[in-house]
């Protein structure tokens, strides 16, 4: 006979209102015919209600995993298992979805079936890093659930001090702004690092994220150690007829206000005949005017990627945004992809060799200085890496001539 539904007067208040309610979902699971999962979720509801009452959490970590991998399961043991025994264990399996979270219904249904059989039936689509999170598994079911999910063609995501599950924006699949193939880039890189995902042995976590343009729909800027953005080097593409149509639609004053005036570098001017005067040298590829005039403007044709390194959240020294380390790189041919992979490995090798324990890439760069980081990686200096040169004269310049010579040589070689 199955367990009684706990009283959840506080949680019940989350069933009112128009937004879909996870409480209703949990109750559906609790009432489901699968007695094991049902009891587990009833118990979970009891513990969660207790948290709402006391305003405290009751989970602790531990060690649970699957055979062959060192990460990917987030173990949760209840501190109030005496009161809520069926949810004493409530582990999460992190599973990597296809880039940009594409599914056919068949796969989704298959996942549901597995998770109904071996887990609680609760699935988060998706975690903030990008995992399918199968939540609520007892220790004894973890391997079973995993075996089936893995057999379906899905692999385990990251956790701990290793490479983490990645995320890419929808990119070329359905976005006209995409300046490179975010989906393929993510798959290529992450597939190459599966070992570092599954057997974490880095100083600390490391995340890649992929956004097809400066709009950064994957939140790569501050939420990934290695952030890859699409951009272009040549002139943006302008359809002057569509510009005129846009001016007509918004009115002159408003077009000036919304487009001309909002360009961060004053790269745009409106001609007296209502065509657009684009100063491409001043344009910083911010996407704004293109966003406003989706029909009239597009990124240029010489597209590629920019890599920014070091983004992360606040721990220890304060939030960091990724800063530019590779201003431009083509990403079209197989060789381009190989070059990117080679670079990604250099990033991670340097991180593995030089970061302190629990130090993220951005913190390491802050500690050693960007110039040393570049030197360590053998990456060429580029002016797009800085927003401005140093403003402080406290610097030792013995090596100036030698460094200046290096630059000039590079310039000459590039010109040849």
Binding partner selected for residue 131 from ligand SRM, ligand SF4, another protein, none, CB under the kind-specific 5 to 8 Å limit: ligand SRM
For a second copy, the closer of residues 255 and 347 by Cβ is: 255
Residue 74 near ligand SF4 by CB under 6 A: no
Answer yes or no: are the C-beta atoms of 265 and 387 closer than 8 Å.
no
Q: Is 132 helix (H, G, I), strand (E, B) or coil?
A: strand
Q: Mark residues 256-295: x for contact with a second copy by CB under 8 A, - for none.
A: xx--xxx---x--xxxx----x------------------
Phi, then psi, of 270 in degrees rounded to 5 = -100, 125
DSSP 3-state assignment of 269?
strand
94 contact choice in ligand SRM, another protein, ligand SF4, none (CB below 5 to 8 Å, kind-dependent): ligand SRM
Cα–Cα nearest to 129, from 160, 150, 105: 160
Task: Write the binding mask 161 to 200 for ligand SF4: x where contact by CB under 6 A, - elsewhere.
Answer: --------xxx---x-xx----------------------
Q: How far apart are the first and last CA of the chain?
A: 83
C-alpha dihedral over 139, 204, 213, 339, to 10 degrees? Answer: -110
Spatial separation of the C-alpha atoms in residues 271 and 274, rounded to whole Å: 5
User: Within 169-208, which residues bind a second copy (CB under 8 A)?
Assistant: none
Window 267 to 286, contacts with ligand SF4 (CB under 6 A) = 267-268, 278, 283-286
Number of residues binding to a second copy, judged by CB under 8 A: 21
Largest CA distance in the chain: 84
CB 211 to ligand SF4: min, Å = 4
Which CB sits closer to a second copy, 31 or 240? 240
Distance between CA 30 and CA 201 in Å, rounded? 39
Q: How buried is 286 (Cβ within 10 angstroms: 0-12 exposed, 13-18 middle, 19+ buried)? A: middle
Q: Could you say which of ligand SF4, a second copy, ligand SRM, none residue 283 binds, taking C-beta under 5 to 8 angstroms by partner kind? A: ligand SF4
Interface with a second copy includes 392 (CB under 8 A)?
A: yes
Secondary structure element (H or E) that encloses residue 238, with its range: strand 237-238
| Interface positions, 112-141, toward ligand SRM (CB under 6 A) | 126-131
**Sequence-separated contacts (24+) of 408-412 with Cβ below 8 Å:** 410/380
Instruction: Name which of a second copy, another protein, ligand SF4, none residue 339 binds, using a CB cut-off of 5 to 8 Å depending on partner kind.
Output: none
DSSP β-bridge partners for residue 60: 77
Size of the site for ligand SF4 (CB under 6 A): 26
**Main-chain phi, psi angles of 134, to 5 degrees:** -85, 110
The footprint of ligand SRM (CB under 6 A) covers 74, 92, 94, 100, 126-131, 157, 165, 169-170, 175-177, 207, 215-217, 219, 223, 291, 312-315, 360
The footprint of a second copy (CB under 8 A) covers 251-253, 256-257, 260-262, 266, 269-272, 277, 314, 318-319, 391-394
């Amino acid at each position: 006979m199955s367990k009684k539904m706990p009283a959840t007067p506080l949680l019940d208040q989350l069933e009112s209102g128009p937004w879909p309610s996870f409480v209703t979902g949990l109750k559906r699971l609790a009432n489901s015919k699968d007695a094991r999962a049902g009891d587990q979720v009833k118990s979970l509801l009891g513990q969660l209600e207790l948290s709402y009452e006391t305003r405290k959490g009751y989970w602790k970590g531990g060690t649970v995993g699957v055979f062959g991998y060192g990460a990917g399961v987030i173990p949760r043991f209840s501190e109030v298992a005496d009161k809520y025994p069926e949810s004493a264990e409530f582990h999460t399996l992190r599973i990597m979805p296809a880039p940009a979270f594409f599914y056919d219904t068949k796969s989704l249904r298959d996942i549901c079936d597995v998770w109904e059989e071996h887990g609680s039936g609760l699935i988060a689509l998706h975690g903030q890093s990008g995992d399918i999170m199968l939540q609520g598994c007892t220790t004894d079911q973890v391997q079973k659930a995993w075996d089936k999910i893995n057999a379906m063609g899905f692999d385990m995501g990251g956790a701990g001090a290793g490479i983490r599950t990645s995320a890419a924006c929808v990119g070329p699949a359905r976005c006209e702004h995409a300046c490179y193939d975010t989906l393929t880039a993510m798959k290529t890189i992450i597939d190459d690092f599966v070992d570092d995902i599954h057997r974490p042995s880095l100083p600390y976590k490391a995340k890649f994220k992929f956004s097809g343009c400066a709009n950064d729909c994957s939140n790569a800027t501050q939420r990934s150690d290695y952030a890859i953005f699409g951009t272009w080097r040549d002139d943006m593409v302008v359809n002057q007829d569509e510009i005129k149509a846009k001016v007509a639609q918004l009115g002159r004053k408003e077009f000036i206000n919304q487009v001309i005036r909002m360009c961060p570098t004053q790269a745009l001017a409106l001609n007296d005949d209502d065509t657009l005067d684009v100063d491409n040298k001043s344009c910083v590829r911010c996407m704004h005017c293109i966003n406003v005039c989706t029909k009239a403007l597009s990124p240029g044709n010489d597209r590629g990627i920019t890599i920014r390194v070091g983004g992360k959240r606040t721990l220890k020294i304060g939030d960091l945004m990724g800063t530019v380390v590779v201003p431009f790189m083509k990403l079209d041919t197989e060789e381009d992809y190989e070059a990117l992979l080679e670079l990604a490995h250099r990033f991670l090798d340097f991180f593995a060799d030089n970061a302190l324990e629990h130090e993220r890439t951005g913190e390491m760069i802050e500690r050693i200085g960007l110039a040393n980081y570049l030197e360590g990686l053998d990456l060429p200096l580029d002016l797009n890496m800085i927003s401005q040169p140093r403003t402080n004269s406290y610097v030792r310049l013995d090596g100036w001539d030698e460094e200046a010579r290096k630059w000039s040589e590079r310039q000459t070689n590039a010109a040849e």
